[in-house]
Chain A
Amino acid sequence: MSGAVDTGQRVAKVHELRLQIAIRSVQTEVSRVLGRITDWLGKHGINRSYVEELELVTAEALNNVVEHAYLYAEDGEIRIVVALRPGKLQVQITDGGRKFDGPPPEKKMDVEKFSFEELPEGGFGWNLIRSLTDEVAFERAGEKNRLTLTRNLPETASVD
């Protein structure tokens, strides 16, 4: 019986690696946590372009939380879980800030059509997130916002 339990744990370990971090809603903490996540992914053999793209989408999602959920208040808590499974890389971000209604509908930004004065200085975040992830899921969990971003990985980039 105990042997079976051991096997189960070992299987679970091999198939999913997790990094869990909680930070305050401060931009400098966002920069720091992104460094920790990229180091961790690099250490587990994920190749650099996937690490950089995950860093970018995670940065966009965390910036949104700091700006829109906590309105730059610096005492908000943000929980981040990065999960690595064969063929999948997932980041889950949970905050207790203002209620979020979920990602806005996709809109194309043809910047070439803007006049010089109207060139957009923001509003790129969700386009970048959608471009570099395979799945974007949002749920309101009690009083919390929870965003889950999933990126499929080819075999060559998966867990060692």
Chain B
Amino acid sequence: MKVEVSNFGGITVVRLCGPRLDAAQSVRFKEALRDISDRGADHILLDMSCIQFMDSSGLGAIVTVLKQMGQAKTLELAALSPIVAKVFALTRMDQIFQLHQTVDGALSSGAKAVG
């Protein structure tokens, strides 16, 4: 899985260049995110806008990344497609993760929290 990384005032935006986050992609996804986190990112925003499909392996991989980052760091998600949002809702993982409608919205609320 290809990812694009950019920084906005302390928030590392990781754009997942989809179209799928599924069992076939979950190992590569975890490796890519571990690298980014190991390089010092302590607030990651996953831009999910290109992900058209995610199964429970993909969700599990996101939980793995969250746990590897630890509670001192922040992992948030933005721009979930309807089916991806549904996987979060049905597993109640929408109660665990901060989910934002858009990347811009997430960045401005993150900036406010910092300011």
Contacts and interface: CB of A to CB of B under 8 A. Distances in A.
A120 B55 contact: no
Contacts of A128: 56, 87, 90-91
Given A49-B82, A124-B60, A125-B56, A111 B23 contact: no
Interface in A99-133: 109-112, 116-117, 119-122, 124-125, 127-128, 131-132
A119 B96 contact: yes
Contacts of A92: none
Majority secondary structure, A binding face: helix
Contact of B24 (A27, A55, A119, A125): A27
B111 to A, nearest CB: 25
A122 B23 contact: no
A53 B83 contact: yes
A12 to B, nearest CB: 32
Majority secondary structure, B binding face: helix
Interface stretch (B7-15, B43-51, B64-72, B100-108): B64-72
A123 to B, nearest CB: 8
Contacts of A117: 67
Interface string A119-160: 111101101100110000000000000000000000000000
B67 A119 contact: yes
B24 A31 contact: yes
A90 interface: no
Given A112-B92, A121-B63, A124-B91, A31 B20 contact: yes
A28 interface: yes
Nearest to B62: A121
Interface of A: 27-28, 30-31, 34, 49, 52-53, 55-56, 59-60, 63, 66-67, 109-112, 116-117, 119-122, 124-125, 127-128, 131-132
